[in-house]
Amino acid sequence: GRDSLPALEDLLARDSSHSASGHDQILKGKGTEYWADLLWTVYWCHLEGEGRADRLRRYLMAWDAEEQEKARAILLDGKSPSEVQKDMAEAWKKFGMKLKFAPPSPGEGKAQD
């Protein structure tokens, strides 16, 4: 489609409750979030690094240990969310997909006090 994908910063700012009810997002008009989640998952499983999902596994281990900031740092790998978006777009470009991302929402992704 021609819609912009949500900014990675916005996706990382969501709480985990979106996962439990997220399977019907297309019906609720949130199709871009659904497709963004899918594209990111495939990227981290198969297109990033050596394609062995190493970063995703480390992220999930940190998340399961309730170390959300550590989990976020693992996914970003010392880069900004926009740099990681660029890496993902370049990876998908090799398969003929042109991705564009919406700018981050104001206030999203900021650490809570």
CB 7 within 8 A of CB 85: yes
| pLDDT at residue 20 greater than cutoff 60 | no
pLDDT one-digit tens code per residue, 33-78: 888 989 999 999 999 988 899 999 999 999 999 998 999 999 999 9
pLDDT of residue 44: 92
Provide mean pLDDT across the span 24-30.
52
Domain ranges, ordered by start, for the chain: 8-93
- Which is higher by pLDDT, 25 or 61? 61
The contacts of residue 84 (CB under 8 Å, 6+ apart) are 8, 75, 76, 77
